[in-house]
Amino acid sequence: MNSVDLAFTPALDLAQLISDRTISPLELTQLYLERIERYNPQLGSFFFIAAETAIQEAKEKTEQLIHSSNSNGLPPFFGVPTAIKDLNAVAKMPISYGVAALKENIASYDDGVTLRMKEAGFIILGKTATSQLGSFPFTEPPGFPPARNPWHLDYTPGGSSGGSAAAVAAGLCAIAQGSDGGGSVRGPAACCGLVGIKPARGRVSHAPVGDYQSGISTNGPLARTVADAAALLDVMSGYITGDPYWLPSPDISFSEATKQMSPPLKIAFCDHIPPFTHSETIVKETIQKTVHLLESFGHSLEMKCPSVETLIEPFTLIWQSAISASGLPSTVLSPLNGWFKEQEITAGEYLRAVHQLQIGSRHLVAFFDNYDVLLLPVYLHQPIKVGQWKDLSPQETLEKIINWIAPCPAFNASGLPAITLPMAQDEKGLPIGIQLVGKPADELTLIRLAAQLEKGNNLSLSIPSSVKD
């Protein structure tokens, strides 16, 4: 296997190659660091590259393998290189939250999800790019190079987990962590041709801190395959002492679900989400393609979709309030985040927004009394160009964002699980993804169905030409 093919090998397969001693953690880490050095300047996918600590850890893990006679006791991702989004803390590494003034800020602790990934055997290559404070569906924070889509460098990889998605899609790491507060895993996954999972509320801990947005956001995996994403969700999941909400572990692992046949399901679908009625033609065509494929598997499909109209205003208020919660002065914020901060709401307004969000979410969740899964677009049109909206007013930009990411935020508001996977490519070579939304706490059904779609679709995304040389 040549070095390029190795760089794009699924993470579970890499773990097996390491376990079999076909390749060492050191060799693999060196390969990815070489690719980061070569391609990150044009992609902007990493804010910080932890070359020294990654090499040291890779050497230690390689030595451990040499002196071990049995690989059976190794963690599931022993020696596999990964990356952590720069909204999440990794002890002794910078954490800027996409704010240039915080570039020298060093984390003193590991987030719970970071610690679990370390315990699973991952080697952390560095911190990936995020939009400023994770606010936007593009990754262009002032003071940092913009993140670019490996499939077409003129276009965004999405946001706010755009750096993680671009890194995985470009073969700069095997798999990565992201977070999703309004589509920030699903959108970048769709833009970059990856599998992304937004877990159900309470599945993945925010420890050792809380979240600022009443349960809207969660950590999740970005991967090349459903199996990889499910395995990383297994690693991330579980209660940590003091969590304000949590879910019991499922009856089987998420990894095991990828090996099971999906039973016939009742699936609702729509190529938009009310009250938003416009979606790009190629988005509609991809939904129809997916409908036909699901019907061929024996599932029952019905064109039906809940309205998210009552969720738009309270979600937007809660989303904007996170900027004020950061405590940062307007002088270090981007113009759009600075405008959000100026829209500060009172505590009473915030609580009323949470109340409205919960009532609207009850109606949304009730939709799933009659359906197992809802099939939707991820975004209503294909990725925008880097900098495409930079000259718009804050109000105009917000309107553009809402009308682009419309199919995503409602499922953050309601806490429902969702998974994104690629189904096609457009004429520019940009991937086109779909999302599957499930019943409360039912990632297992989504993962079984996604694995079935992945196998049946036979979409073979080539290696992006921008990172193939």
The catalytic position among 24, 45, 61, 85 is: 85
C-beta separation of 254 from 234 below 8 A: yes
Q: Which of 131, 184, 205, 237 is catalytic?
A: 184
Tell whether omega for the bond before 275 is within 30 degrees of 0, i.e. cis. yes
272: tokens are 């938009």
One of 45, 135, 160, 179 is an active-site residue; which one?
160
Catalytic site includes residue 108: no
Active-site residue flag, 61: no
The residues that bridge with 152 in the sheet, in sequence order, are 149
- Please give the Cα distance from 229 to 155 (Å, whole number): 24
- Active site (annotated) includes residue 321: no
Catalytic residues: 85, 160, 184
